[in-house]
Structure 1
Amino acid sequence: MIVVILFFLLLLIGVPVGFVVLTSAISGILTYTSTPALIIVQQMFAGLDNFVILAIPFFVIAGNLAAHGKTSEHLVNAMTVIFGRLKGGTAIATIATCAFFAAISGSGIATVVAVGSLMIPGLIKQGYPREMAAGIVGSAGTIGTLIPPSAPMILICVAMNTSVGKQFMAGFLPGILLAVCWCVYVWFVSKKHGYGESTKYTGKEAARVFLHAVPALMFPVIVLGSIYTGWATPTEAAAISVVYIILIELFVYKTLKIREIPKIFFDSLVTSATLAIILSCAQVLTWLVTMKQIPAMLAGIITTLVSNKVAFILLLTVVFLIAGCFMDLVALVVVLAPVLAPALAFYGIDPIHFGIMAVMNAQLGCLTPPFGVNLYVTMNVSKLPLTQVVKGVLPYMLILLAVTLVISFVPEISLFLPRVLG
C-alpha cells in the first residue's frame, strides 16, 4: 500500500516518471523486505544489461537527423505526386508522408516537426481550415510510434521479453489500416466542403520528383529489410540507419552541415538517456513485485472479477485511456508488463498483440490533454492555441480510438505478418 500511495502522490506532483518508479520501489524494498540495499543498484544495472536497448539511441539519432535535413521535404513531394490528383489530395499526402516518415524517425514528435513545418502552411494556403491542418499533422504524427522502427516498441519488447522483429512486423497492418481510415475521412470532408486543390504533375516532373526522393524512400527498405532478412539485428540495423541518413543528408541532399551533427547527437542522447532511466528504474520495481508474487495475486483477482477476455480488453483500454491523459503510457506499460503477464496468459492474449494494443493506446495518450505531447508540439508548429489544436485533433482521435478497439478485438490484424513471415 505504501508503494502505491507514494507512486501516485509523486506522479501527481510532477516528479519525472523514472524517479517516481525508483522512489516507490526503494520504499517497498526497505519496508517489506530484508534484502540489502545493494539489490537496488544490481537491478538498475540489470535493467540496462540488454543488447537490444542500444537500438533506441541509434533510431532516435537517425530520426532527428532526418528531421533536420531534406528527407521529409522529398517524401512530401513524392506523396503529393501519388495523391495530389484526389480531392483533398494534399491532406492525404500529408498523412501518407507522416506514415512514411514514421518508418524513418520512429518518433511522433520528430514527425510532427519535420512534416508539420512544411505542410501546415501549405494546407492553409490551399484553403483548409487552420484547425484541420493542425489536426491532420498532430494526429498523423502519432503514427511514428506504431509503424516500425519505433523506440516505444523496443521498450515494450524489453519489458515483455518478446522479439523486436516480430513486434515491428505486427505494427505494419495496424499502421496502414489507421492511415487509410484517416485518409478516407479527410477525402470525405474535403469533398463535402470543397477544401484543397488538385495537384497534377507531368510524367517528366513526376519522374524527377521520385528520382530525388529515392534515397529517402529506400531508408525503411534498407533498415527494416536488413532485420527481416536476418542480415542484421535490430541494434545493428539502428546503427546502419544513422550511417545511412548521415550519408544521404551530407552528400546527396547536402542540407545537413557537419558542424550541426554533434548538437543533434547530444539532443538525441538526452532523449535516449531519459528512456534508459525509466527502463533501469522499472527493473527495480519489477524485481520487488516479482519477489512478493504480486503478478500471480493480481492475476487471480482479475480473473475472478473479470468474467471474460472481452471485458478484460475493455478494462485495459479504459485504464490506458485514463492513464494516458496524465503520464507517458509506454513508461506505465514497462512498469506493468510483468504484473499483467499472468493475466494476459490466462485470457490467451499474445504478448505481441498486447504490445500493439499498448502502442495504439499510447498514441491516444499523445493526443489527450494535459499530457498529450503531440498537442504541444503541434501548437508550436502551427502557432495555434491549445483549444483549437484539440478541436482539430478530435475527429482523428475518435477514429484512432475506433481502430484501436478493432485491433484489440481482432488480433489477426496485428499477428498476421509475424505468423506468416515468422
Structure 2
Amino acid sequence: MTALLHEGRGVAGPLEPANSIAGRSARVLDTLVKWTTELPAVLLLIAEVALLLANVIYRYALHDPLTWADELASLLFIWLAMLGAVIALRRGEHMRLTTFIARMSPGAQAFLDTLGTIVVMVFMLCLLGPALEYVQEEWLITTPALEMHHSYRVAAIAAGVILMLVSSAARLLQHARLKNLIWSCALVAACALALYAARGVLPALGNLNLVLFFLLGVGLLVTIGVPIMTAFGLATVAYIGSTSHTPMLVVVGRVDEGMSGIILLSVPLFVFLGALIEAMGMASAMIRFLANLIGHMRGGLSYVLIGAMYLVSGISGSKAADMAAVAPALFPEMKKRGEAEGELVAMLTASGAMSETIPPSLVLITIGSVTGVSIAALFTGGFMPAVVGALAMIVVIWFRNRKLPKENLARPPMRDIVSSLLYALPALALPFLIRTAVVEGVATATEVATIGVAYSFVIGLLFYRKFQWRRLYPMLVEAASLSGAILIIIGCATAMAWALTQSGFSRQLAGWMGAVPGGSVGFLIISALAFVVLGSFLEGIPAIVLFGPLLFPIARAMGVNEVHYAMVVVFAMGLGLFAPPFGVGFYAACAIGRVNPAHAMQRVWPYLAALFVALILIATIPWISVGFL
C-alpha cells in the first residue's frame, strides 16, 4: 500500500482573490513548478527503463555488461526521486493520515491544511542550507567508471528542496486564509522558540527525548495531517538540533543514503508496470478467464475477486491501483447478482490485506534493501502466505454462501473457457516471468521490472491492442509522483532510524525483545501484534525502514528465519493497513467501491478474523514461508 493517504486542499478560501497579484503569482509559480518537474521526470523514467533494459540485454545476451550503467542509473534515479517528491507535493499526493481530520469542521480542516503547509516549509528551510553544503562536500568525490563528481547527483536534493518550498508558497497563496496563515506562523514560531529555549535542558533528559520527539512529536504531526515524510524528517531535525551538536549535514547525508539504494530504483519501474498492465487490458483478460472458469458457482464471483487480486497484486506498488483494476470489472455484475455493496467492499478490503506478500511487492523489495535479505528468497517465500490468506477468505465466502439458492447461471461452454484462457495466457505469464527472471539470475530485482515493461508493451500492442497512447504521459507522471512520495519517506525514515540508533535505542530494543517470554515464539507474537498496529498508522514501507534494521538482527539472533519473519511482518502490516477504524486501506477500498464506510465496516470483520487466523498459521508454521526456498 503506497498512496492511499493524500493531502487535502484548503476549503476556507484563498489568501488573495484569484485575479489579484498574489493569485496570479501563485498560478505562475505553480505552472513553473509543474513544467520544471513533470516533463523532466517523465524523460528520466523513460531513460531509466531503457538504460536498465539495455544492461540486461548486454549482460545476459551479449555477455558484455555496461560497467557504467549502475552509476548513471544512480545519478538519474536521485533526480527522478526528488522531482517525483515535488510532483507529489504539488498534486497533494504525499502520504498522510486523514482519519482524524475528516471528522473535523471545514474551518478546522482549512486551518490544519495551512498549518501543515507551513510545517512542510519549515522542514524544507531546515534542509536547504545543509543540502547546499552537501553539494559542495560531494564535489571531491567522483564515480569510478564515469568519473563524474557526486555533486551532480546530490544536487537533486537541493533542487527538490527549493522546488518544494516554491510549490508550498504557491499553495499558501492559492488556498490559505490570512487569519489561518497568521495563527499557523505564530504557532510554529512558538514551538521553535520553546525548543531553542530548552536546548540547555533537553540533553540531560537522555532517552526521554525519544518519547518527546519521536513518539509525541511524530504522533502529533501525523495526527494533524502533516505528510509522513515531514513528520519523520522534522522530528529528526528537531531532535538532532536540540539534543546534540551534530551538524545537519549528517541528516541530509542519511536522507541521501536512504533514497539512493539502487534496489529502490525498482519502485518507479514497478509502479509504471502496474499502470501498464491495466492500460494494456491484461488485467481485464485475467479477470475474464477467472469469471468464465468459476463465475457460475454459488458465490462464484467472490472467488473470482480473490483470484484476481492474487494475480494483479504486488505489481503496481499501490494497493489502491490493484483494487481499482479489479473492482470496476467485477462489481457491476456482482451487484446484478444481488451482492450487497458493503459486502463487496469488505471482500475487496480483505483481499488487499491478503495479497500484501505477493511478489514483486514493493514492501518485500524495501525489506531486502534495508535488511540485506535476499530479494529472490523473499519473492519465493511470498506466494504461500498469500495462498493461506486466500484459503482463509474462501472458507468465509463458502460459509456465507453455502445456504443460498444456486444462481440460475449456466456454466460457460468449455470452448469459451479455453478461449478466455488462451486470451489471458500472455497476461497470466507476466508474474511468473518476473519471478523466474530474478530467481534464475537473468536480471536483478532492480532490472526485472524493465523486462516486465518491455513484455507488457509488446504483448499489449501486438496481442490485446487496447492501449491508448494519450494515456502514456499521465501514467508516467503518476508513476513519478507515487514513487517520489514513497522514496522521500524512505529517505526521511532512514535519517530517523539513524537518530534512534545513535541514541542507543536499538540496543535497548534488542534487550527488551530478547527478554520476551517464550523465546522466538514470543518474539514472533509480539512482532506480529506490533506490526498490525504500525500498519494502521505508518503503512508498510515507512514502518519497515524504521524498524526493519532494528528487529531483523534480533530475529536472526533468536534463530528465526529472516524470510519467515519478513512474511509474518508483512502479513501483519497488511491486516493493520486494511482494518478499520484507522486502517487507511479500508477507506481506500470504500472510495473505490463508492460505498459508505459504515456499510462495509460491519461486514469486514469475519474476513479480517479469518486473515488473523491465517497470520497465526504463518507465524507458527515456518514451512509456509520457507518450504520452497
Shorter-chain TM band: over 0.9
**In 2, Cα distance between the equivalents of 1:305 and 1:366?**
25
Deviates more, 1:338-347 or 1:269-278: 338-347
**In 2, Cα distance between the equivalents of 1:197 and 1:114?**
28
For structure 2, the residue ranges without an aligned partner over 5 or more in a row are 1-208
Q: Does 1:322 align with 2:539?
A: no
Amino acid at match of 1:110: A
**In 1, Cα distance between the equivalents of 2:513 and 2:376?**
31
**CA displacement 1:331-365 (0-9 Å, x = unmatched):** 12211122223432343222222221221122112
Contact 1:152 1:330 in 2 (8 A): yes
Counterparts of residues 121-132 of structure 1 (less than 5 Å)? 121-132=332-343
**In 1, Cα distance between the equivalents of 2:222 and 2:349?**
26
TM-score by length of 1: 0.92
Deviates more, 1:325-334 or 1:265-274: 325-334
For structure 1, the residue ranges without an aligned partner over 5 or more in a row are none
- Deviation (angstroms), 1:18: 1.6
Q: 1:129 to 1:296 in 2, by over 3 A?
A: same
- Deviation (angstroms), 1:382: 2.4
Q: Secondary structure in 2 aligned to 1:220? A: helix
Q: 1:323 to 1:291 in 2, by over 3 A?
A: closer
* Cross-structure match for 2:213: 3
Counterparts of residues 16-415 of structure 1 (less than 5 Å)? 16-102=227-313, 104-194=315-405, 196=407, 198-304=409-515, 306-415=517-626
Q: 1:195 to 1:95 in 2, by over 3 A?
A: farther
- Deviation (angstroms), 1:238: 0.9
Q: Secondary structure in 2 aligned to 1:123? A: helix
**In 1, Cα distance between the equivalents of 2:262 and 2:430?**
23
Q: 1:96 to 1:376 in 2, by over 3 A?
A: same
- Deviation (angstroms), 1:367: 1.5
**In 1, Cα distance between the equivalents of 2:549 and 2:255?**
16
Contact 2:294 2:304 in 1 (8 A): yes
Percent sequence identity over matched residues? 25
**In 2, Cα distance between the equivalents of 1:8 and 1:117?**
36
Q: 1:103 to 1:313 in 2, by over 3 A?
A: closer
- Deviation (angstroms), 1:325: 2.7
Q: 1:210 to 1:417 in 2, by over 3 A?
A: same
Contact 2:288 2:420 in 1 (8 A): yes
Q: Secondary structure in 2 aligned to 1:34? A: coil
Q: 1:226 to 1:345 in 2, by over 3 A?
A: closer
**CA displacement 1:114-147 (0-9 Å, x = unmatched):** 1111111111212223222222223213344221
Q: 1:195 to 1:202 in 2, by over 3 A?
A: closer
Deviates more, 1:362-371 or 1:219-228: 362-371
**In 2, Cα distance between the equivalents of 1:225 and 1:134?**
33
Amino acid at match of 1:117: P
Amino acid at match of 2:604: V
**In 2, Cα distance between the equivalents of 1:222 and 1:112?**
22
Amino acid at match of 2:432: V
State the structure with bigger RCO (CA 8 A, min sep 6), 1 or 2.
1
Q: 1:64 to 1:196 in 2, by over 3 A?
A: farther
- Deviation (angstroms), 1:387: 0.9
**In 2, Cα distance between the equivalents of 1:138 and 1:196?**
25
Q: Secondary structure in 2 aligned to 1:149? A: coil
Amino acid at match of 1:3: F
**In 1, Cα distance between the equivalents of 2:290 and 2:393?**
15
- Deviation (angstroms), 1:12: 2.3
Q: 1:296 to 1:113 in 2, by over 3 A?
A: same
Contact 1:133 1:392 in 2 (8 A): no
Runs of 4+ in 1 over 6 A off after TM superposition: none
Q: Whose radius of gyration is greater, 1 or 2? A: 2
Contact 1:170 1:352 in 2 (8 A): yes
**In 1, Cα distance between the equivalents of 2:520 and 2:615?**
16
**In 2, Cα distance between the equivalents of 1:197 and 1:414?**
40
Contact 1:295 1:341 in 2 (8 A): no
Q: Secondary structure in 2 aligned to 1:87? A: coil
Contact 1:282 1:334 in 2 (8 A): yes
Contact 1:78 1:210 in 2 (8 A): yes
Contact 2:520 2:558 in 1 (8 A): yes
Contact 2:273 2:453 in 1 (8 A): yes
- Deviation (angstroms), 1:273: 0.7
Q: Secondary structure in 2 aligned to 1:234? A: coil
- Deviation (angstroms), 1:248: 2.8
- Deviation (angstroms), 1:247: 2.8
